[in-house]
A and B are shown apart, each in its own frame.
Chain A
Amino acid sequence: MEAKKILIANRGEIALRIIRTIKKLGHVAVVFRSNRDKDAPYLEEADEIIDANESLQDKVIFLDADKIVELAKTHNIDMIHPGYGFLSENPDFARKCIEAGLIFIGPHPDHIYQMGIKTIAKEIAEKVGLPLVPGSKGVVKTIDEAKKIARKIGYPLLLKAAGGGGGRGMRVVENADQLERYFNAATLEALNAFGNGDLFIEKYIENPKHIEVQILGDQHGNVVHLWERECSLQRKHQKLLEEAPSPSLTDRKRSSLGKLAVKFAKALGYYSTGTIEFIMDEKKNLYFMEMNTRLQVEHPVTEEITGLDLVEWQIRIALGEKLPFKQKDIPLNGWAIECRINAEDPQNRFSPETGFIESIRFPYHPQLRIESGVTDGTYISTNFDSMLAKLIVHEKNRKKAIESMLKVLEETRITGIKTLVPFFKVVLSHPDFVKGTYTTHWIENVFQHEMLIRPEDEMIAALAASIAYAMEYLPIAGENIHIQQDNINFWVLNKRLR
């Protein structure tokens, strides 16, 4: 195979992840150096670096489609990998790459476009026979129409503004008595907010779970699914922890869901990696939500249970290779869990943390995979997202995977900024997670920041504060503490506390 020059239009842990596979396949890994992230660890691993030299007024390079393509051409790049986020789901970017004679590592731009518009995606899903959340076909103009639909789909139901989002013009209706009142209120709200009072009605799914199927298709019409992932631990639609397979599916449901996903991808003529997302209600009914036309942040859990390198197959498929395996050849081995180590403060409404990472240490564990984009001294700014690293464990079964992840988290040490590490310890020890019954509302309905306080940690903290106070203020400290270079010599403290 001829070595290709592959440009990664991305940064952080995913750039490092893609570099690894590019090198494994014998290709050349090229990355951008952004002015906003000049000494990022991924730069050290790349074969070649292109200096983006953006000024502060410019867009960050990873969002500047024209500049990416232009620099790719002047640096003789063959292929472009968009990673996730940034321009990865921008059909114009994919098209520009192709028009410039570059190979875009991803699906066809038309598929990115179609799946990016939810109504189109849902139309196609319905044609193929995927279940959709029951609701109105199009907008509901009058209260009489709304009543008719409500009788058909039942309560609770959700009124949604056709014109926008952000919770405005949105109401959960619990029963028939509320319908007229809420319908009028939502209409008025939508009218004021979006200049359009039109509403959709759909069945309100209480306590939903998020389950998604990974598919892989080549450019010759072959599609397989790589089982599902459950990503129900979310905060404001941001996934925080993912596992594969899902604890909520039976084997039978698992393969029928996989088949549906393959059917959908085949109907599209889709190739490359893709993820078809479903929402599951309390009765375990699954409904199509949307399709993501890229590599997912949480792809490693699928790689662990199938043994397949998804980035490798993205590259091979982009080069026109045929999938050499059939559905029955796809293994499902053991259980994998991923935790996203974000620089967010779970004690303070998950607000983003900024500052220097003083030190970051992960333990050695034979079943641990670390995808990290930072190192000691990395500055976490508001320029990019807050994910520092992903920890993935793969074990024989779910129980073991939970145990190993807890052990890894217990021994993970990050100083300088606060992260989600203590939060995941709470989650993985909570009965809702252990039983696998957690839903996308778990954080808002169940989690309380007081759960982060462990009595032994609190006591040790009190001890540390007392010693610090004693060292600073007390004459007794002076009595038998030797002062050296303005610091308190440790052996005396040692003696005091032994």
Chain B
Amino acid sequence: MATRYIYKRDASRLFIALSEQGKKFKIYLPQDAYPIINNEEKEITILEHKYDNFCFLWNGKKYFTHIKSKDQNKYRVIVNGVEFFFSIESISSYLRRRMLEESSDSKKTVSIQAPIPGKITNIFVAEGDLVNEGEPLFNLEAMKMQNEITSPITGIVKSIHVKVGDNVIKEQLILELSNINE
């Protein structure tokens, strides 16, 4: 059975909505599937929309939303008569800001090293890609065996330090991931 990963590679479809009270929603808007909110696919559909006002259907219930105001990335949204205030960031700007705020060598960045010496035969991701925990990152050939190295976290590929065909030694840095779940 093929593993099903919730995120597609396109990191530009991932947004962070931060509420006034500091509550955080990670929202992934796929091209042709249900939205993924805080790592869970929600069966929400849009029934109607007019400008920024939506009518969503979720669990058989309708939710009407109205954007009361927006100022750059800050939105006031009314749902069921209650006002919510969110600032929205794309994942890249979010990570960039977080890195400025904290030291870059914190546990928010995960380094992937070669577990054994060998040859890189395939790289499945590119810089900036969104990867799921358990999703394959690259193949490392050693002792004629293809070893699939998977991602230990859900995150964004920050940098790749090798290319296909490179020979690597044990514990050589292969790539770095930015954790989006912290």
- A residues lining the B interface (CB < 8 Å): 345, 347, 410, 413-415, 418-419, 421-422, 450, 452-454, 456-476, 480, 487, 490, 493-498
1/0 contact string of B42-60 vs chain A (CB within 8 Å): 1011101101101010100
Residues 97 to 134 of chain B near chain A (Cβ within 8 Å): none
Check A421 against B81 for contact (C-beta < 8 Å).
yes
Residues 21 to 38 of chain B near chain A (Cβ within 8 Å): 21, 23, 25, 27, 29-35, 37
Shortest Cβ gap from B43 to chain A (Å)? 9
Shortest Cβ gap from B36 to chain A (Å)? 11
Interface residues of B, count at CB 8 A: 48
Which residues of chain A are near B51, meaning CB under 8 Å?
A: 487
- B residues lining the A interface (CB < 8 Å): 10, 12-13, 15, 17, 19, 21, 23, 25, 27, 29-35, 37, 42, 44-46, 48-49, 51-52, 54, 56, 58, 63-67, 70, 73, 75, 77-84, 86, 88, 90
A347 to B84, CA, bound (A): 10
Check B88 against A464 for contact (C-beta < 8 Å).
no
**From A465, which residue of chain B is reached at the shortest CB distance?**
B75
Check A498 against B49 for contact (C-beta < 8 Å).
no
Beyond contacts A461-B65, A465-B84, A468-B75: 8 other A-B pairs, Cβ-Cβ < 8 A, are A453-B82, A463-B25, A463-B56, A464-B54, A470-B15, A473-B73, A480-B31, A493-B46
Check B19 against A476 for contact (C-beta < 8 Å).
no
Task: Please name 29 pairs of A and B residues whose Cβ atoms are closer than 8 Å in the assembled complex, sorted by A.
Answer: A415-B64, A419-B81, A422-B82, A456-B58, A457-B63, A457-B79, A457-B80, A457-B82, A458-B19, A458-B79, A459-B37, A460-B56, A460-B58, A460-B63, A462-B27, A463-B25, A463-B27, A463-B35, A463-B37, A464-B52, A464-B67, A465-B17, A466-B15, A466-B29, A470-B13, A475-B12, A476-B10, A480-B31, A497-B44
Shortest Cβ gap from A340 to chain B (Å)? 15
- Select which of A454, A462, A475 is within 8 A of B25 by beta carbon: A462
Which residues of chain A are near B81, meaning CB under 8 Å?
A: 414, 418-419, 421-422
Shortest Cβ gap from A47 to chain B (Å)? 36
A464 to B73, CA, bound (A): 13
A480 to B70, CA, bound (A): 24
Chain A-chain B contacts (Cβ-Cβ < 8 Å), number: 133
A366 to B157, CA, bound (A): 58
> At the interface, is chain A mostly helix, strand, loop or mixed?
helix
Which residues of chain A are near B66, meaning CB under 8 Å?
A: 415
Check A496 against B75 for contact (C-beta < 8 Å).
no
With known contacts A460-B63, A463-B56, A466-B17, A498–B33 Cβ distance under 8 A: yes
**From B13, which residue of chain A is reached at the shortest CB distance?**
A476
A208 to B80, CA, bound (A): 32
Check B54 against A498 for contact (C-beta < 8 Å).
no
A464 to B35, CA, bound (A): 11
Check A465 against B78 for contact (C-beta < 8 Å).
no
